[in-house]
Amino acid sequence: MTAFVDIDGVTLTYRGASGDVTALRGTSLAVGRGEFTAVVGPSGCGKSTLMRLVTGLVRPTEGRVSLDGAAVDGPVKIAGMAFQNPNLLPWRTVTDNVLLPLEIVEPYRRRFRAEKKQYKERAEALLATVGLAGFGDRFPWELSGGMQQRASLCRALIHEPELLMLDEPFAALDAFTREELWCVLRDLWERIGFTVVLVTHDLREAAFLADTIHVMSARPGRIVTTRQVELPRPRDLEVCFEPAFVDLIHELRGRIAEMRAA
Ligand SMILES: Nc1ncnc2c1ncn2[C@@H]1O[C@H](COP(=O)(O)OP(=O)(O)O)[C@@H](O)[C@H]1O
Ligand SMILES: [Mg+2]
């Protein structure tokens, strides 16, 4: 079976006036269709670079990246993205922020004027599934950080992408809000069934959400450990206190410590 996301022997060197930086070297990673994958690693190890490669924003220096069997050679349309900063446009309402990808991505773009009413209903329905019913007409600055991040997830999903790429989306939130958002993401994934690549430095977040965790080395980053998460689904936050969960976190921490000492 071919992987849905296939990163094969990728090296990425950023060329700059002050010298070259090799962010990734010989990195390989495969993600199955519908799989929830987490990538964890220290700051600067190339996690965001990995996201840019998969979404076609940068090209590998060596190796290849393919999505659903096709080589990635430019920005991809089948992915939705969300980042640490929700990046909502302050002059647009929440609903109009969520609608943004439909104004850009075909085939929605050409239908946008004619279908605006239906699209708006769809955005509002999606907002309701993440607990933002009735907030569509508000502006981003009227919402808490956690609510803005919920809206940002809706914007990433409004065009029904097959792949959701998340770059430390909950890193700026307080611990309680972060755990609420884990559950929001879990529910969206279980309901819609897209493929996820979640970049995080939070091992608990990775273990709670993912089917598979890939641990990256320090720069130049490569995958040093891949671990299946066997915890049964559906998972709720109580699982974080179970021995199997705690053991998994210990094991991953141990691998990261060994790697740092090496
Ligand atoms: N556009 C760029 N030009 C030059 N160097 C970059 C660029 N983007 C990232 N880097 C460098 O590449 C390395 C990996 O960065 P990044 O992928 O952002 O790591 P992470 O997301 O894991 O923190 C870092 O050393 C960073 O400084
Ligand atoms: Mg990053």
Domain encompassing residue 109? 34-58+74-261
pLDDT of res. 5: 98
| Block residue for tokens 């080395």 | 217
Distances (CA, A) of 173 to 85, 86, 104, 148, 149: 10, 11, 29, 11, 9
Does residue 67 belong to any structural domain of this protein? no
Does residue 17 belong to any structural domain of this protein? no
Task: Please tell me the distance between residue 60's alpha carbon and the centre of ligand 2 in angstroms.
Answer: 17
For the segment 78-129, what is each residue's pLDDT rounded down to a tens digit?
Answer: 999 999 999 999 999 999 999 999 999 999 999 999 999 999 999 999 999 9
Q: Give, using CA atoms, the residue closest to atom 17 of ligand 1.
A: 46
H or E stretch including 189?
helix 175-192
Q: Which of 25, 27, 48, 197 to mutate to test the pocket of ligand 1 (most atoms within 8 A of CB)?
A: 48
DSSP class of 108: H
pLDDT of res. 1: 61
Please state, rounded to an integer, the average pLDDT across all residues of the chain. 95
d(CA 256, CA 41): 8
Q: Looking at residues 187-210, what average pLDDT do you find?
A: 97
Q: Give, using CA atoms, the residue closest to atom 23 of ligand 1.
A: 44
Q: Give, using CA atoms, the residue closest to atom 13 of ligand 1.
A: 23
**Residue 82 is part of a domain; what is its CATH number?**
3.40.50.300
Question: Is the confidence at residue 247, as pLDDT, over 80?
Answer: yes
- The first and second tokens of residue 121, run together, are 């209903």
For the segment 201-217, what is each residue's pLDDT rounded down to a tens digit?
Answer: 999 999 999 999 999 99
- In 3D space, the residue among 218, 214, 203 whose CA is nearest the CA of residue 262 turns out to be 218
Distances (CA, A) of 262 to 76, 255, 259: 37, 11, 5
Does residue 105 belong to any structural domain of this protein? yes
pLDDT band at residue 46 under the 50/70/90 scheme: very high
d(CA 111, CA 115): 6
Q: Looking at residues 142-163, what average pLDDT do you find?
A: 97
Ligand 1 atom with the shortest distance to the CA of 167: 21
Q: Looking at residues 45-56, what average pLDDT do you find?
A: 96
pLDDT of res. 259: 80
Does residue 22 belong to any structural domain of this protein? no
Does residue 6 belong to any structural domain of this protein? no
Ligand 1 atom with the shortest distance to the CA of 24: 14
H or E stretch including 69?
none
What's the structural domain count of the chain?
A: 1
249-257 contacts at long range (C-beta below 8 A, 24 or more positions apart): 249/203, 249/204, 249/207, 251/227, 252/40, 252/203, 252/206, 252/207, 252/213, 252/215, 252/225, 252/227, 253/203, 255/215, 255/224, 255/225, 256/42, 256/215
Does residue 183 belong to any structural domain of this protein? yes
Does residue 180 belong to any structural domain of this protein? yes
For the segment 14-36, what is each residue's pLDDT rounded down to a tens digit?
Answer: 999 999 999 999 999 999 999 99
H or E stretch including 232?
none
